[in-house]
Amino acid sequence: MKKLPFGIICLYSLLWGAAPGEARELSLAAELARNWTGQSFRLESAENKQERQSLVELSKGEGKKATESEGSSDSDGEGKKEEEQKFQPFDKVIKDAEKQEGLLAIYRNKKNNTNFLEIQPEQLNRNFFCAIALASGIGEWGVYRGWPISDFMFQFRRVQDNIQLVVPNSYFRTQPGDPQQRSIDSSFSDSIVSAVKIISIHPERNSILIDMDGLFLSMPGPASAFPWILGESNSSAIGQPYISKAKVFPENVEIESVHTLPASDDLTTLPNAGAFNLSLRYSLSQLPSNNGFRPRLADDRIGYFIHAYQDLSDRDRFQPFVRYINRWHLEKQIPSAPLSPPKEPIVFWIENTVPLEYRDAIREGALMWNKAFEQAGFIDAIEVRQMPDDADWEPEDVRYNTIRWSPSFESWAIAIGPSRVNPLTGQILDADVIIDGNAVRNVLQDYRNYAQQDASAQASGLFALAGNPLLCRYGVGRPYLKWLEQQSLLSESRVGEFPFLARMLTESQQIDRSKLCFGIQTATQSGFGALSLSLRGNVLPHSEEMERYINQFLRWLTAHEIGHTLGLRHNFRGSTMLAPEELNNTEITQSRGLLGSVMDYAPVNLAPSGVEQGDYFTTSVGSYDRWAIEYGYKPIDAISPRGELRELEKIAQRAPEPGLSYAPDEDTYAFLDPQAKAYDLSEDPLLYSKWQMDNAREIWSRLDKRYLGSEERYSDLRDRFNLVFGYYFNHAYNATDYIGGQTFNRHHPDDPGSRLPFEPVPVAKQRQVLALLDDYVFAEDAFDFPPELLNKLAPSRWFHWGSFPSISRLDYPIYDRIHSLQSLVLIDLLSSQRLDRLRDIELKTPPGEALSLSELFETLKASVWKEILENKKRDSMEISTLRRGLQRQHLNILTNMVLRDTEAVFNASNLLEFLSAIVVVDAPEDARVLARYQLRQLQKDIRSSLRRHGKKLDLLTKAHLEDASDRITKVLDAQIRSK
pLDDT range class, residue 499, cuts 50, 70, 90: low
Three-state SS at 214: helix
**Which pLDDT score is estimated for 901?**
79
**What SS3 class is residue 57?**
helix
How far is the C-alpha of 680 from the C-alpha of 687, rounded, in Å?
Answer: 10
What does the pLDDT average to over 864-872?
85
Average pLDDT (477-504) is 48
The CA distance from 763 to 120, in Å, is: 70
Is residue 507 scored above 60 in pLDDT?
no
Q: How many residues does the chain have?
A: 979
Q: Is 488 left (phi over 0), alpha (psi -120 to 50) or beta?
A: left
> Mean pLDDT, to the nearest integer, of 86-105?
94
List the one residue out of 36, 59, 29 whose CA is nearest residue 641: 36
- pLDDT tens for 232-252 read 544 555 678 999 999 999 999
Burial of 705 from C-beta contacts in 10 A (0-12 / 13-18 / 19+): exposed
Dmax (CA) for the chain in angstroms is: 112
Mean pLDDT of 725-740: 93
| Residue 899 parent element (H or E) | helix 881-899
State what percent of residues in the chain have pLDDT above 70. 81
Angle between helices 544-565 and 359-367 (to 10 degrees): 50
Instruction: Report d(CA 663, CA 745) in Å as an integer.
Output: 8
- 641 contacts 389 by C-beta, under 8 angstroms: no
CA atoms within 13 A on the CB side of 592: 21
Closest CA to 591 of 565, 615, 608, 563: 615
Taking the C-alpha atoms of residue 943 and residue 966, their distance in angstroms, rounded to an integer, is 11
Question: Average pLDDT in the 949-971 region?
Answer: 93
pLDDT per residue over 189-198, tens digit each? Answer: 999 999 999 9
**SS3 sequence, 280-337?**
EEEEEEECCCCCCCCCCECCCCCCECEEEEEECCCCCCCCCEEEEECECCCCECCCCC
pLDDT mean over 804-812:
80
Could you give the CA distance from residue 871 to residue 823 in angstroms, rounded to a whole number? 24
DSSP string, 937-968: HHHHHHHHHHHHHTTTS-HHHHHHHHHHHHHH
Please state, in angstroms and rounded to a whole number, the distance separating the CA atoms of residues 126 and 57.
11
In the chain the first and final C-alpha atoms are separated, in Å, by 37
Three-state SS annotation for 623-692: HHHHHHHHHHHCCCCCCCHHHHHHHHHHHHCCCCCCCCCCCCHHHHCCCCCCCCCCCCCCCCHHHHHHHH
How many other C-beta atoms are found inside a 10 Å radius of the C-beta of residue 588?
18
The average pLDDT across 510-533 equals 70
Distance, in Å, from the CA atom of 820 to the CA atom of 914, rounded to the nearest integer, reads 13
State how beta strands 191-201 and 172-173 pair.
unpaired
Q: Provide the pLDDT for residue 817.
A: 92
Tell me 378's DSSP state.
B
Q: What is the average per-residue pLDDT within 35-44?
A: 30
Average pLDDT over residues 45-51: 46
Going by pLDDT thresholds of 50, 70 and 90, the confidence category of residue 823 is very high
Contact 431, 421 (CB under 8 A): no
**Are the C-beta atoms of residues 202 and 233 closer than 8 Å to each other?**
no
d(CA 544, CA 555): 16
Evaluated on CA atoms 526, 527, 528, 531, the torsion sign reads positive
Q: What is the mean pLDDT of residues 143-157?
A: 92
Residue 259's nearest CA partner among 215, 224, 211 is: 224
Q: What is the pLDDT of residue 488?
A: 46
Tell me which of 54-58, 567-571, 895-899, 911-915 is least confident.
54-58
> For residue 232, what pLDDT is reported?
56
Candidate from 212-216, 591-595, 802-806, 974-978 with smallest mean pLDDT: 974-978
pLDDT for residue 705: 81
Which of the four pLDDT bands, split at 50, 70 and 90, describes residue 966? very high
The 8-class DSSP code of residue 575 comes to T
Q: What is the pLDDT of residues 639-696, one digit of tens each?
A: 999 999 999 999 999 999 999 999 999 998 888 999 999 999 999 999 999 999 999 9
pLDDT at 236: 56
Mean local confidence (pLDDT), 607-636 = 97
Give the H/E segment covering residue 562: helix 544-565
Record the pTM: 0.87
Mean pLDDT of 582-587: 96
Element (H, E) at 258: strand 252-262
What distance in Å separates the CA atoms of residue 666 and residue 679, rounded to the nearest whole number?
16
For residue 764, CA distances in Å to 740, 827, 853 come to: 12, 22, 15
Q: Which ranges in 900-924 belong to alpha helices (H)?
A: 903-906, 911-918
Residue 471 near residue 10, CB atoms below 8 Å: yes
Cα distance between residue 143 and residue 801, in whole Å: 18
**Residue 279, SS3?**
strand
Is the bond into 469 cis (omega within 30 degrees of 0)? Answer: yes
- The span from the CA of 466 to the CA of 6, in Å, is 7
Q: Around Cβ 866, how many Cβ atoms within 10 Å?
A: 17
Work out the pLDDT band at 712, boundaries 50, 70, 90.
confident
Q: What percentage of the chain has pLDDT greater than the value 90?
A: 60
Q: What angle do CA 416, 471, 909 make, to 5 degrees?
A: 145
Q: In sequence order, which ranges of 114-228 are alpha helices (DSSP H)?
A: 181-187, 212-217, 222-225
CB-based burial label for 41 (10 Å; 0-12, 13-18, 19+): middle
- The residue with greater pLDDT, 492 or 722, is 722
Give the per-residue pLDDT at 36.
Answer: 29
Kindly indicate the confidence band of residue 846, based on its pLDDT and cuts at 50, 70 and 90: very high
More confident residue, 18 or 361: 361
pLDDT per residue as tens digits for the range 439-478: 887 776 543 333 333 332 333 222 333 333 334 544 433 4
Distance CA 46, CA 321 (A): 19
At residue 285, the pLDDT reads 95
CA distance 194 to 202: 23
Partner residues linked to 405 by β-bridges: 435
Give 498's contacts (C-beta < 8 A, 6+ positions apart): 906, 907, 908
Rounded to whole angstroms, the Cα distance separating 175 from 188 reads 16
744: part of which helix (H) or strand (E)? strand 742-744
pLDDT for the residue numbered 281 = 95
Q: What count of other Cβ atoms lies within 10 Å of the Cβ of residue 387? A: 20
Residues 269/301, Cβ–Cβ less than 8 Å: no
CA-nearest of 232, 231, 229, 254 to 244 is 254
pLDDT at 460: 29
The burial of 444, by beta-carbon neighbours within 10 Å (0-12 exposed, 13-18 middle, 19 or more buried), is given as: middle
- For residue 721, give the nearest of 447, 328, 481 by alpha carbon: 447
Alpha carbons 441 and 353: distance in angstroms, whole number = 16
